[in-house]
Structure 1
Amino acid sequence: MENEVQIKLFFLIGTLAMVFLALGIILMSVIYKSRVDRLNRKKSESLLNASLNSEKRERQRIASDLHDGLSGDLSAVKNFIALLNNKEEDYSKKEILQEVSTVLTHALSNVQNISYNLMPPLLESYGLVPTLKSYFDRIKKSNNITIKQHYFSDVIEIPSSEAYEIYRIVQELTTNMIKHGNSQQISISITLDQNTLLFEITDDGISFDFNEKLQSSLGMGLKNISSRIKHIDAKLIQQPISIGNKFQIILNSDNYVKSSNNR
């Protein structure tokens, strides 16, 4: 009888030991997986930051090359054509020179627009709001579209890296609204609530589900938006509306400053 009790006790202790061993192995596996996932997230964030920073530097380089190089060359050629046109007396040749000058004017304008879109020069010098106003002025000139803007201040002092990403997100969203959504009206507003900046972009075009399109899209536009949102630790929320689309970008910081003279 005593032997049976000892045997049962032995099996009980053995079973408990095996259970604790199994739980220990599971716990170690969970901790290991958590650490691996954390390292992978840090690696992904590092790669994302490096990729976006590299893209910004490359955009700056190409924009500078276009503005200082090709744009200057086209302007010089246009001036030479103007000189030849003034000296030419043959009417048929003057017509040809005038046509060449017109083509050069269009080419110069296209190069300047490309350079501006790659890296808007106002962003570093004047900040986000003047850059957005300039961008939407260009949009209105090249598209038959109404754009409504509201900014709580003309001066929003945020780090230039965050201002750049916000500008690119707004650019991607509005380009998508115009190109794919056939929007006729776009509204943008920036408001400040304590230390939270709220960017709101609304259009009256074709509705779409951002997250659904993000998963199925082969293009880079929506993926770039998602990457930039993560890069600046912001939130992108799509609010349901009856017509069109409404997006909110929420950016938190303790360092935002508004100018009391521009409320």
Structure 2
Amino acid sequence: MFFLQINNPDSPVSLVLFFGTVGMLALTIGLIVFIIFHQRKVIRYQMRLQKLEQEQQKMLLNASIRLQEEERQRIAADLHDDAGPLLATARLYLNENLVNLDKTTQLQSIYNAKQIIDDTIQLIRNISHSLMPPTLKNFGLESAVNDLFQKISGSGSMNASCRFHDYRERLHPDQELIIFRVIQELVNNILKHSNASFIHLTQNLGGNKLYIRLHHDGRGITQNDFEKLNKSNVGLGLKNIQSRLKLLQGRIFFEKDMSQTYYKVTIEIPKLEEEPAGE
């Protein structure tokens, strides 16, 4: 009798089974539709994220290109505007009529030309030093940063100090130069825009990461400000910093101290050892 009741389409049990099956089927279809739409939403989000990353990469590349072009233009301007006129003036003193002049005038002309040539040599040396500071090349990052901060303090414009805690071995030369340029750019921004009375730099190692932190008590920016500026058409200096650090797979963080009394900039860079001699 029980089996007859189940096989009877009009029985309550059969109706429950029928509607239960339909409900499960509808739930399954709804779940499949939800998964499909969710996957499409995830794919669209990933595509937007990828597009944003590509735009960010393009902006960093453009900033790096602009940085290189600005450096080339600066060097060209220094050579054209300063070295060129100096050498042209020296040539005037050493013209072909010099042999026809009296000895006193000849000696004076030669002396003047020598002074101008010495000035030109010093100018070219300064340009060379700006490309690769000799202190950085010969003694490493710590000495170069110390030299930079001593000059800032010596100018009387700001109390600048630095301390390297874990700098027992030099980094790769290319890495040292990029880090030094980033520090220079950050320090220049602080000097120009923060109105700070002090700036202090520290260096530490954490595992295979190099950490450099800059503290100052002037006006500064937070990470949120940095992200906004980095995505805008302004803040070229910050884009230059970001493009340099990207070459080292490094990161930078801007924050205000919990005491709200100073700003802190942290640079995090994977550490590369200096290449052995002869490679």
TM-score category of the 2 structures, normalised to the smaller one = 0.5 to 0.7
> Which residue of structure 2 aligns with residue 62 of structure 1?
73
| Structure 1 match to 2:5 | none
Aligned pair count reads 237
Aligned to 2:172: 158
Query: 1:116-172: per-residue Cα shift (whole Å, max 9, x none)?
Result: 66x445498445445434544554565533322323448531362x44443343223
Q: Do structure 1's residue 233 and structure 2's residue 233 form an aligned pair? A: no
After TM superposition, list the pairs within 5 Å mapping 1:173-188 onto structure 2: 173-188=186-201
Q: Distance in 2 between matches of 1:141 and 1:79?
A: 35
Q: Separation in 2 of the partners of 1:48 and 1:163?
A: 24
1:147-226 → structure 2 map (5 Å cutoff): 147-151=160-164, 152-153=166-167, 156-158=170-172, 160=174, 162-204=175-217, 206-211=218-223, 213-214=225-226, 215=228, 218-225=234-241
Note the C-alpha offset of 1:35: 3.8
Task: Tell which deviates more after alignment, 74-83 or 48-57.
Answer: 74-83
Partner SS, residue 40 of structure 1 = helix
The 3 A distance-change label for structure 1 pair 65 and 256 is: same
The amino acid across from 1:157 in the alignment is: L
Indicate how the Cα distance of structure 1 residues 171 and 243 shifts in structure 2: closer, same or farther if over 3 A, else same: same
| Alignment counterpart, residue 267 of structure 2, candidates 225, 246, 249 | 249
The CA RMSD over aligned residues, in Å, is: 4.4
Match of residue 51, structure 2, among 37, 40, 44: 40
Cα distance in 2, alignment partners of residues 146 and 193 from structure 1: 28
Secondary structure, in 3 states, of the residue corresponding to 2:213? strand
Q: Following TM superposition, by how much is the alpha carbon of 1:199 offset from its aligned partner in structure 2, in angstroms? A: 0.8
Cα distance 1:46–1:226, how it changes in 2: closer, same or farther (>3 A)?
Answer: closer
Q: Name the structure 2 match of 1:91.
A: none
Pair 1:33–1:14, CA change in 2 (3 A): same
Identity of aligned residues (%): 18
Q: Distance in 2 between matches of 1:143 and 1:83?
A: 43
Is the 8 Å Cα contact of residues 191 and 198 (structure 1) preserved in structure 2?
yes
Deviations 1:212-237 (A, max 9, x none): 54347954344544555556332425
Query: How much does 1:56 deviate?
Result: 4.7
Correspondence for 2:62: 51
- Once residues 91 and 155 of structure 2 are traced to their aligned partners in structure 1, the CA distance between those partners, rounded to angstroms, is 29
Structure 1 residues 216-225 or 146-155, which shifts more?
A: 216-225
Describe the SS at the equivalent of 1:12.
helix
Q: 1:208 to 1:39 in 2, by over 3 A?
A: closer
Deviation at 1:70, TM superposition (A): 3.8
- How far residue 239 of structure 1 moved from its aligned partner, in angstroms, is 5.2
SS in 1 for 2:199: strand
| 8 Å Cα contact 1:239-1:245 kept in structure 2 | yes
2:101 equivalent in structure 1: none
Unaligned 5+ residue runs, structure 1? 88-100, 259-263
TM-score of the pair, normalised by structure 1: 0.64
Distance, in Å, in 2 between the alignment partners of 1:55 and 1:154 is 35
Q: Cα gap change, 1:221/1:190 in structure 2, threshold over 3 Å: closer, same or farther?
A: same
Deviation of the 1:190 alpha carbon: 2.0
**Cα distance in 2 between the residues matched to 1:62 and 1:54:** 12
Please identify the structure whose Cα radius of gyration is greater: 2
